[in-house]
Amino acid sequence: MFHESFKKLRLGKESDSQAMDAQLAPKSENGDNGFHEIDFVTLGMFIIDDIEYLPPTPPVRDILGGAGTYSALGARLFSPPPLSKSVGWIIDKGSDFPQPLEDLISTWETSVLIRPTPERLTTRGWNGYDEHQNRAFRYMTPKKRLTAEDLTPELLTSRSFHLICSPTRCRELVTEIKARRSGLSTPDGGHLPKPIFIWEPVPDLCTPDELLNCTNTLPLIDIISPNHSELAGFMGDSGLDPETGEISTKAVERACEQLLGSMPLQSFAIVVRAGEKGCYLARNGGRKRKAPLTGQPRTKKASALLHGGLQPDTDMEALFAGLLQDPEGTIAREEIEVDPGVERWIPAYHTDPEKVVDPTGGGNTFLGGLAVALARGKSLEEAAAWGSVAASFAIEQVGTPALGKNEDGEETWNGVKVDERFEEFKNRLAFSER
């Protein structure tokens, strides 16, 4: 379902930095600063990759890369135009930026903010793989990290944010983004809805020493998504089966149970990306409010009974059965239901290893698909299925998948319609769309 474009964006008292942001807002096709509803924004970096493989496979150069690029791809796969404008990301374009890459990016038709920085080189990275597909990475040019200050007012209105950083940096970013959003409102002057924060921890700081920092971060975010190795790193484990050397699903489940058990009253979810094993979803259960049925009768209670002063005929059920009271003193019955939580494996889309050409960016693409699904109201399970399908396109070739159209003029990626692949996968998983 396509969202209507923003016709206007009301700002509160605009700071100097917000005024500067407004000048840098992404341009619409007619050259105006046209605001769009944004479902997804990533603060992951854009990187131009060089990839080297073991002989005899030749290396490849000048490939679209970086967590920002691939997570934006994941959201874009499920956002054909005009919904493509709901995907926001930032590129710092150095003096060496290849024109073919800029042309390719423009075909995605996203709300990308390309900022010319001719005084520097574009962030570039070297990637290498060994015989076990273990990836090595190093920066070839100085990196330029994105901050909350880099987000324009339009991007700040996003329904979801993808953050890839340390625990400490994640807390800072969430706090800064929330503070900057406080001066913004919806087109009708209302408050922006609560954003969804998806945190991807950086591998270097997934250690037992950082576990306390990690748990201190969890109350501020909605999803933490390490891969199996990063999750194991927090627990001081390898995450592998000692007998087979493969990813241990039991180790993943055990680590999630320990992490959730340490924060029983928090509502975050864990989404563990586990390569060929798929992904594991874990979320604590609890009580949640149901939307009241249309026309459901409500009972007005005297203020004294609601705020103290027990009487012989006090409705004890209303006081102690978990019933909710609105600001006007109205009590709605049966508005609490039990959330059983989630513990589920979602398989990888590709079951044939021959289909996997290059795993680079698969995890980031997964999170872009997951995030945009959650932003559009999908359940955690279905959002993970979106992510799995998105990742399947990212790993079928070196670099990003090819965008095209079929004979009916419908958008395809690698010659396949995304919604058709998703429907096939959904049927395989045997769950219905919400």
Nearest CA to 65 out of 117, 153, 125, 112 is that of 125
What pTM value is reported for the model? 0.80
Q: Which pLDDT band holds residue 76 (cuts at 50, 70, 90)?
A: very high
Of the given ranges (61-70, 242-251, 336-345, 414-423), which has the lowest mean pLDDT?
A: 336-345
Q: Which pLDDT band holds residue 249 (cuts at 50, 70, 90)?
A: very high
Listing DSSP states for 41-52 in one string gives EE-PPPEEEEEE
- Phi, psi of 129, rounded to the nearest 5 degrees: -125, 140
Of the given ranges (65-79, 263-277, 279-293, 331-345), which has the lowest mean pLDDT?
A: 331-345
As a whole number, mean pLDDT of residues 342-358 equals: 93
Decide which of 359 and 296 is more confident.
Answer: 359
Of the given ranges (130-134, 137-141, 358-362), which has the lowest mean pLDDT?
A: 130-134
Is residue 334 pLDDT above 50, yes or no?
no
Our CA dihedral for 37, 40, 46, 51, rounded to 10 degrees, sits at -130
Decide which of 325 and 217 is more confident.
Answer: 217
Of the given ranges (85-94, 104-113, 190-199, 366-375), which has the lowest mean pLDDT?
A: 190-199
Question: Do 249 and 233 form a contact (C-beta atoms < 8 A)?
Answer: no
- What pLDDT is attached to residue 313? 61
- What pLDDT is attached to residue 43? 98
Is residue 26 pLDDT above 80, yes or no?
no
The rounded distance, in Å, linking the Cα atoms of 208 and 232 is 9
As a whole number, mean pLDDT of residues 294-300 equals: 48
Question: Do 392 and 350 form a contact (C-beta atoms < 8 A)?
Answer: yes
- What pLDDT is attached to residue 34? 58
As a whole number, mean pLDDT of residues 44-62 equals: 91
Of the given ranges (138-152, 296-310, 383-397), which has the lowest mean pLDDT?
A: 296-310
Q: In what order do the strands lie in the sheet with 330-332?
A: 299-300, 330-332, 324-325
**How much is the mean pLDDT over the chain?**
84
Our CA dihedral for 294, 300, 303, 305, rounded to 10 degrees, sits at -110
Listing DSSP states for 257-306 in one string gives HHHHHTSTT---EEEEE-GGG-EEEEE--EEEEPPPPTT---EE--HHHH
Q: Find residue 241's DSSP bridge partners.
A: none
Is residue 153 pLDDT above 90, yes or no?
yes
- What pLDDT is attached to residue 284? 86
Q: What is the pLDDT of residues 167-183, one digit of tens each?
A: 999 999 999 999 999 98
Nearest CA to 90 out of 144, 43, 159, 22 is that of 43
Is residue 294 pLDDT above 50, yes or no?
no
Decide which of 92 and 339 is more confident.
Answer: 92
CA angle 12, 17, 20 (to 5 degrees): 100
Q: Which pLDDT band holds residue 28 (cuts at 50, 70, 90)?
A: very low
Is residue 130 pLDDT above 80, yes or no?
no
Nearest CA to 95 out of 50, 141, 51 is that of 141
- What pLDDT is attached to residue 312? 59
Is residue 310 pLDDT above 90, yes or no?
no
- What pLDDT is attached to residue 38? 96
pLDDT above 90 as % of the chain = 66
